[in-house]
Amino acid sequence: STTNALVCGSIGSGKSVLLRTVIEYAKLAGVDEIIIFDPKYEFNGYHNNMDCYVYNDILEIEEQMANMLLEMEGLIKAGVLGIKCFLTHSGIDEFPNVTEKDLDEAMPILARYNIPLLAHCELDGECGHELGKNPTSYAAFLASRPRAWENNAVGLMIDKCRKHNCPVHIVHVSSADALIQIETAKKEGLPITAETCAHYLYFTAENIPDASCIYKCAPPIRESGNNQRLKEALLSGVLD
């Protein structure tokens, strides 16, 4: 049968035209099953389409995502080169974060095919910040996503990489404090790679003005001393 299509999105995200185009293109291409995760009830017009399955309830969405673990091998065989996950809320309700249980179920499958798991590494935890009182303050935003969140998440992914011998790629490393863990894991011979991004190398927290959401990203852009260490790690090969 024709490859299934999975669509996640909402009008509120500003991408509804693109997502609707994806759905219509999939139908024209002869896709025999289209699954739509729609917790905001914005694609209900597709409920009556014989090729579409629309899930609105969060519990239903979570159940369907669990079922998709069983389909991951099919995606790999169809040519998927990697699987992406978030360890903290992605900011999009229909793209929830994974749990340790999810990792332990998915990573053995990926390891069997030598397919990497790409991980957004932040683990929510306690942190003192006043972002609620100062929502336009960059310093408050930076404090709301501390290095410890990133460091702990990188540590978790290294542990899971070791446990399952599953290739892991840490995306957009922002905390230089995590570099020693990555370097040690590589020296151990674990199948792990890590990247940073240009904005973490070029911009610095000290020079970001308040109320300038163009600089808002997660993990956040950090201080100049931190970013200098990222540059050195990129040159030394600790970062790929």
pLDDT band at residue 50 under the 50/70/90 scheme: low
Query: Residue 28: pLDDT above 60?
Result: yes
Question: Tell me, what's the pLDDT at 13?
Answer: 45
| Token pair recorded at residue 61 | 């969405």
Tell me the pLDDT of the chain averaged across its residues: 85
| Token pair recorded at residue 51 | 């090729």
Among 73, 64, 76, residue whose Cα is nearest residue 33 = 64
Which residue did the predictor score with more confidence, 141 or 22? Answer: 141
pLDDT band at residue 93 under the 50/70/90 scheme: confident
Pair type for strands 117-120 and 83-86: parallel
pLDDT band at residue 77 under the 50/70/90 scheme: confident
Query: Residue 2: pLDDT above 50?
Result: no
pLDDT band at residue 52 under the 50/70/90 scheme: confident
C-alpha dihedral sign at 27, 31, 33, 36: negative
pTM over 0.85, yes/no: no
Question: Tell me, what's the pLDDT at 53?
Answer: 73
CA angle at 191 for the pair 189 and 196, rounded to the nearest 5°: 110
Query: Residue 199: pLDDT above 70?
Result: yes
Question: Tell me, what's the pLDDT at 90?
Answer: 84
